[in-house]
Structure 1
Amino acid sequence: MFRVLVAEDELWIRDALTEMVEKLAPQFHAAGEAGNGEEAWSFIQEQWPSIVITDIMMPHRDGLWLSEQIHTLNLPIVTIIVSGYDNFHYAKQAMRYGITEYLLKPVDEEELHGALRRSMKRLESMSDFHEGVIRIQKFVEQLPEMDQQTLLQESQSLVAYILKLKATAPGKRTGLLAILSAKLNELFQAFIPQHAYAPLTDESEQGVRGYFSGLMDAWLLLYPQQADPNVHSSIKRVCEYIDTHYYENFTLARLAEMSYMSVSHFSMLFKKTTGQTCLNYINQIRIHRAKKLLQEPDLKIYEIADMVGYSSMPYFNRIFKQLVMITPAEYRRRMGL
């Protein structure tokens, strides 16, 4: 199954695109939605989808900016551009970022399905890189729990895996090294505020091994003795806020700001502290409340969706069914309402 992110600021178009993607299940699954480029970028760093369908014109960073971030880090993601502007200028910019799928609004369902199927072939060539990204994410998330021996073994194994890509895929190797370096530095800064960001400057094999060995030594020296004790309490405060303000329009950027962290720091530490992503946590709180409201026969389902923070009925239905395994209407019927 290929996980797809739909980034579009117009809600009705976003819903339509998501429904088009879901019609190709089980090969494709709409794993998430975003209303602007910043939200989409945060989702990518937290969930690592295989395909991103993005509008060009969006607030808070547009689709071209998002495409550039994906291209710059050489991420194993296929980007499909959607635009309401029949302008070759945008197409030329998109081509610079390796994008070959450019669809005009209103998007034809068959055209989108064709673009998704063609994306499968490109994704096959990215499988080793995608595995590398997943391995990096797993390593960084588990790092605070590792003992010294395990940490050194796992870090050396991960670096060796990336270095093997040198001969056949130097671009992927460089991208993975950049991701690993950024993730580790962000983790260090989150747990150890005095840590100074140390970029990787020497990509020779000796330089790479020495660089990451130095980072591991710094971690073992400073963590947990000098780790910030306020980190977990900050995440707890955010959870308490979500628990009581679940109906609000949350963004990762806003919640991260409440914790005085960057989005990537916050996403990583939230999952580390709670055992789940921030998006999953929010959805679970909302659906739990929705199940209670569905027991009130005077309330319409669309009213309940709005009351728990979903302005889109199709999105509410999808999330509810994903977590409860049945639709809100079926849930009501089974409750005898």
Structure 2
Amino acid sequence: MYTVMIVDDEPKLRLGLQTLIPWQELGYEIMGTAANGNEALRVDEEQIPDVILVDIRMPGMDGLQLLQEIRRRGWDTHAIVLSGYADFEYARQALQYGVEGYLLKPVNKEELSALLQKLHQQISADRLEKQVHQDAKSPEWAVYSLLSGSHDLANVSIDNLAKSLGMDWPKYQIVLISFPGLHPEEDERIRSFRERLVTAYAADGQSLVLYFAPYTVLLLANTLVGDFGRADLYRELQMLSGEIRTHMDVAAGETVLALDQITNSFRTARSLLERSFFYDKGRVLTLETPESYRQAPSSSKDTSLLDGEEVSFRLYYLVDVGHAEGIHSLLDEVAAQMAIIGKGETEIRERFFYLANETLRKVSPRLWSESIYPGEPAQFLAGIYSQRFIRDLVGYVTAVMERLARCADYTSRDNEMRRLLDFIERHYYENLRLEMLAGLFNYSSSYLGQLFKSHTGEYFNAYLDRVRIDKAKELLTQGLKVYEVAEKVGYSNVNYFHNKFKKLEGQSPSSYQKKS
């Protein structure tokens, strides 16, 4: 954690800033407050704040005088100036003292948080660079300099440098390790992990461990060979991670033959980690690692799966008819199609959020309560964005949709036709098609058509028309206009509705309404 001091003559503002900003989440802690510059300078020289938020106009020593004194004393403190005056002259004077930002009161929470986040990264980088300079001419210095591009090796023989540092290895391979969600430069558990990693790998001079934000870097001379070698490394790293319970991401770049080529291996490993969403978890990623959905399932030929509304339509019906078995197959194929055509992680997450949200919006609230999901629908939907791998995302949404489907109100699940007729009774007004229903109930269209005719004595379209016209008769007796009734029972064309009604009832809708 980096320390912060708030200097302002307004007690309410000092208190407000302490509670308004999520300091710990941003990697900071408040070490104290002061009402003016004189109070701020009374801090112990060993407790100089990393960041100071200072008001410009204060009684006694004002903000500009405080900044001037801080620079005179040589404090390594980063300053953010706050002011109730939109005065560019004050801003100009403040900037000459190296302030990081100039914000007007009242302070905007998002603006200050963004500035603090950026400053956190800068402080971390500055401290790391200082540490590197302190360790100059060490193997760690050489590797860090090469990876960061900050080296001054234009006139240095890489071969001679490698020999002088004991790193004249025949091969080199970069392995990157990260723990998403943790601050690697602050978390004591990660520092302990790196120490154990040094003991396990770097003690024999054939490996090297360093921190290159935000990764722990393991440079290997004995490079990884085959699936077994990669699996052994992952198990070993898991064991060394000890008390770190969060997920660990690991990627290895290609093997290179010279020290100054390790940047190529590093870039490959980094790009793999950036695409970790598309791989299965719990493994060392390499260029040879297949993505989770590199090839579509053999049945995934339906381009309509790329249409969000179409898939939403099908997912909702699968839940509504209680067809839990078809849900995973549908969502699996959606993920495969999107991955194969190159859709990104964000777009895939958004598509699955849309599908889940649309389904929850349409199903009966009873299903959610009976599913005994440990949380509200909003919590489930928010969880979609915390799934770090594409297979986990599919499994997460599938599990909840299957819960809902199994709660659908069917007492005899082997009676497919009863379920189908009940479904038609509840959705007669929608764009029902035999082909779509066949897919939901896992039949071919021709077979379902024969089964339907055998069970009801009517073809599917004729049965659907009869259900719709029966519903239309009920609505006509309630005094609705003919075109309104047509739309409510599923006919977008009122003339088509008129003809169907007359064919089945022997009279027009308006005549029926008058007699009723």
TM-score, with normalisation over the residues of structure 1?
A: 0.36
TM-score, with normalisation over the residues of structure 2?
A: 0.24
Which is helix-richer, 1 or 2?
Answer: 1
